[in-house]
Amino acid sequence: MPRIALLPGDGIGPEVTEAAVTVLKALDETEGLGLTFERLPFGGAAVDATGEPFPEVTRKTVLEADAVLLGAIGGPKWDDLPREKRPETGLLALRKTLGLYANLRPARVVPGLEHLSPLRPEIARGVDLLIVRELTGGIYFGEPRGMSEAEAWNTMRYSRREVERVAEVAFQAAEKRRGRLVSVDKANVLEVGELWRKSVAEVARRHPTVEVNYQYVDAMAMHLVRRPGAFDVVLTGNLFGDILSDLASVLPGSLGLLPSASLGERTPVFEPVHGSAPDIAGKGVANPAAAILSAGMLLTYALDLPALGRRIERAVEAALREAPTADLGGSASTEAFTRAVLEHL
């Protein structure tokens, strides 16, 4: 009986999470999956309730769950808190606790909806890429770090093992997709980039059917705008992946369309890429597509049910054409869009 830990979080997080759970429950009824759900405090909501962004009850439950479905966290309300109390610190702690070293962010332009992209339709057409971002190393976690009145310092650090394990995830994904992978670094000026490139090349030897290329991160940012359809799987480190995946997330036309999966040593986490959007929270207009698609990734990667994951993807794409939400130029509410997904499911 798969156990799903729900971390609705802040802002529109509870609304889009509820939409995703509604879709999962509908599949559960027809397919007999035996899913169970447990809602837990996390992020700013947890700070308000317990004083901590990642309380012990949540930590214990996510370690015992089969998957975590996360809504969104943060907002101006908590920006002035000490760093250790901020929602974002809770998110980093969640990733570290679960050993989530590989973040998968697909960016796909839905056929027929190329006009939603900020790029010209002929450039946006056919975009279907997957960014695999290393999630627990690099400059966000490297030591030493610190700050004085006069300066601040952070350390970008990677071990060969850290690079090879996330590269293995990326190469396996490429083998199941179109067999192409580009590794992104800054090897021309950073020793960390040199190690990254050598480590990826070592893993590439174990996957001879995958075509491998290498790009510097600045050039890759340009290529993602000029010719995004040329890429299949993009592998990169924590900092560069953070930036490039946000850039790629704009390609389909809205952050509300981008799901993600974080995989690693313990329980996997699935969440939409978008933030908590406190300005529209409670208005019933949030786009739940990314959260619903994240639920589809949960079925694929956590429960090994890829056929059901694809069913959710097809239902969401049909709903996007039929009942777009406000961020996509339509008028469908969160509830109306979810109903459309259920009808097509």
Q: List residues with catalytic annotation.
A: 140, 186, 218, 242, 246
Residues in the chain: 345
- Runs of H (alpha helix) within the chain: 13-31, 44-50, 56-64, 87-98, 121-124, 160-176, 191-204, 217-226, 238-249, 289-301, 306-322, 334-344
Supply φ then ψ for residue 262, to 5 degrees. -120, 120
Does a cis peptide bond (omega within 30 degrees of 0) precede residue 144?
yes
Query: Rounded CA gap, 21 and 334, in Å?
Result: 13
DSSP 111-133: TT-GGGSSS-HHHHTT-EEEEEE
Cα–Cα dist 74/90, whole Å:
10
DSSP state of 76: G
